[in-house]
Amino acid sequence: LAKTTQPISMDSYEGQEVNITCSHNNIATNDYITWYQQFPSQGPRFIIQGYKTKVTNEVASLFIPADRKSSTLSLPRVSLSDTAVYYCLVGGPRLMNRDDKIIFGKGTRLHILP
């Protein structure tokens, strides 16, 4: 299971673009990269998932370089309501009964300032 490393915390200001990078040096060939957002006292919310290059949806963009050993979640023009913890996970569809586990680390605490 690929281990991920991401900054513990980040601060930014309203209206700025925020980029959170996640390192996953031992990502496997069939692993996907998935990002979640969690607000206090709520369950995590799926944001975006990608395999390579760039993925964009209405919430964020995900940039994945060719070697796939890292990825960057990009949040355009953040607002105060984007203050949350952001988790990077690496893995993918597995056969049943395999010994893989879904691991959420401590994530990145993003604090948006006015």
Partner 1 sequence: NAGVMQNPRHLVRRRGQEARLRCSPMKGHSHVYWYRQLPEEGLKFMVYLQKENIIDESGMPKERFSAEFPKEGPSILRIQQVVRGDSAAYFCASSPKTALSYEQYFGPGTRLTVT
Report the interface residues with partner 1, using CB under 8 A.
32, 34, 41-46, 49, 87, 89, 91-107
**Nearer Cβ to partner 1 (11/17):** 11
Minimum distance, C-beta of residue 61 to partner 1, in the bound complex (Å): 17
Nearest distance from residue 112's CB to partner 1, in Å? 19
* Spatial contact of 42 and 83, defined as CB atoms under 8 Å apart: no
Q: Shortest CA distance to 55 belongs to which of 35, 78, 69? A: 35
Residue 111: what are its φ and ψ, rounded to 5°?
A: -120, 115
- Minimum CB distance to partner 1 smaller for 11 or for 14: 11
In the complex, minimum distance from the CB of residue 98 to partner 1, in angstroms, rounded to a whole number: 7
* Contact partners, residue 39, CB within 8 Å, separation at least 6: 45, 84
